[in-house]
């Protein structure tokens, strides 16, 4: 965490305030809508920093600075700034996901309680104990096949031949 705070010196004052809001205990005090707004702003700033760095690298490579110059085109300050913004976005997203998990768990337990309540309150009047109600297993004939075993005209001749041999 110390290295991330050291990177913050490369941030603007407004960005420092946004990044500070993604740390505890401030992040837990934010409402969901406020946290989403902070993460959105941080994401926009992170993307802007990334795009600026890509443009600088492209311009440096175009001007003939060579391969090694492409990586250093933005400077260490810009890399650290982007790193601090990336870390802040990750913290914000993690907190949002944690809050979503709490909501999901609450919803699931509420649904289970409602289902149990409905199950215990249901009326069993008119519902048989089983499908056959004491007569044994019910016959469920397969109506998709022919009863004689002859499925079509091709099966009729072997069936007729077998009946003659007996």
> What's the pLDDT tens digit per position in 105-129?
999 999 999 999 999 888 877 776 6
Q: What is the pLDDT of residue 10?
A: 87
What are the tokens at 35? 């946290």
pLDDT band for position 155 (cuts 50, 70, 90): low
- Determine the pLDDT at residue 21: 94
pLDDT surpasses 60 at 5: yes
| pLDDT (mean) for 32-55 | 94
Residue 124: what pLDDT? 78
Q: What is the pLDDT of residue 125?
A: 78
Confidence check: pLDDT of 130 > 70:
no
Q: Which residue has the tokens 């959105």?
A: 40
Q: Is the peptide bond before 25 cis (omega within 30 degrees of 0)?
A: yes
pTM score above 0.75: no
Contact at 8 Å (CB) between 1 and 55?
A: no
pLDDT at 162: 75
CB 73 within 8 A of CB 66: no
Mean pLDDT of the chain: 83
Each residue of 63-111: pLDDT tens digit?
Answer: 876 555 555 556 778 888 999 999 999 999 999 999 999 999 999 999 9
Confidence of residue 154 (pLDDT cuts 50, 70, 90): low
- Total number of residues shown for the chain: 166
């Amino acid at each position: 965490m110390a290295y991330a705070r050291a990177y913050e010196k490369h941030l603007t004052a407004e960005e420092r305030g946004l990044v500070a809001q993604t740390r505890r205990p401030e992040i837990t005090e934010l409402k969901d809508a406020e946290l989403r707004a902070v993460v959105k702003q941080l994401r926009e700033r992170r993307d802007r920093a990334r795009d600026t760095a890509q443009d600088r690298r492209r311009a440096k490579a175009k001007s003939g600075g060579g391969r090694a110059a492409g990586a250093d085109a933005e400077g260490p300050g810009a890399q650290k700034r982007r790193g601090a913004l990336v870390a802040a976005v990750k913290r914000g997203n993690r907190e949002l996901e944690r809050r979503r998990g709490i909501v999901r768990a609450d919803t699931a337990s509420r649904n289970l309680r409602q289902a149990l309540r409905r199950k215990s309150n249901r009326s069993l009047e008119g519902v048989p104990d089983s499908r056959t109600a004491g007569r044994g297993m019910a016959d469920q004939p397969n109506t998709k096949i022919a009863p004689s075993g002859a499925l079509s005209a091709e099966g009729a001749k072997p069936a007729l031949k077998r009946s003659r041999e007996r």
